[in-house]
Amino acid sequence: MGDSEIIEHLWQRLENAISEVKEKYHRLCLKVSNSITMNIMDAEECVSDSYLKLWNAIPPDRPNSLKAFLLRIVKNTSIDRLRK
């Protein structure tokens, strides 16, 4: 499924949207988060929290790039976890 379709599913609040995001981007999100937190358990929790933040952000936001939007959320969530 393409990013524009996933964004549309998120916009319509279809339940399969997050599972599609996970299928497509989970390993990349985990890699980014782990490179920041340096702890796989924290990284997994950050990625999970990021999916919820993504769900809550669309709508009202409608990003041009789902990948960039999601990775920004993952990065910020991971940095917040590192600061704690």
Output the pTM of the full model.
Answer: 0.95
For residues 20 and 81, what is the distance between their CA atoms, to the nearest angstrom? Answer: 25
Q: What percent of the chain has pLDDT over 70?
A: 100
Q: What is the pLDDT of residues 49-60, one digit of tens each?
A: 999 999 999 999
pLDDT number for residue 84: 87
Average pLDDT over residues 60-78: 97
Helix, strand, or coil (residue 56): helix
Q: What is the pLDDT of residues 18-34, one digit of tens each?
A: 999 999 999 999 999 99
Q: Give the contacts of 76 (CB within 8 A, at least 6 positions apart).
A: none
- Picking from 82, 16, 25, the residue whose alpha carbon sits closest to that of residue 48 is 25
Alpha-carbon torsion 84, 45, 59, 32, what sign?
positive
Average pLDDT over residues 35-42: 97
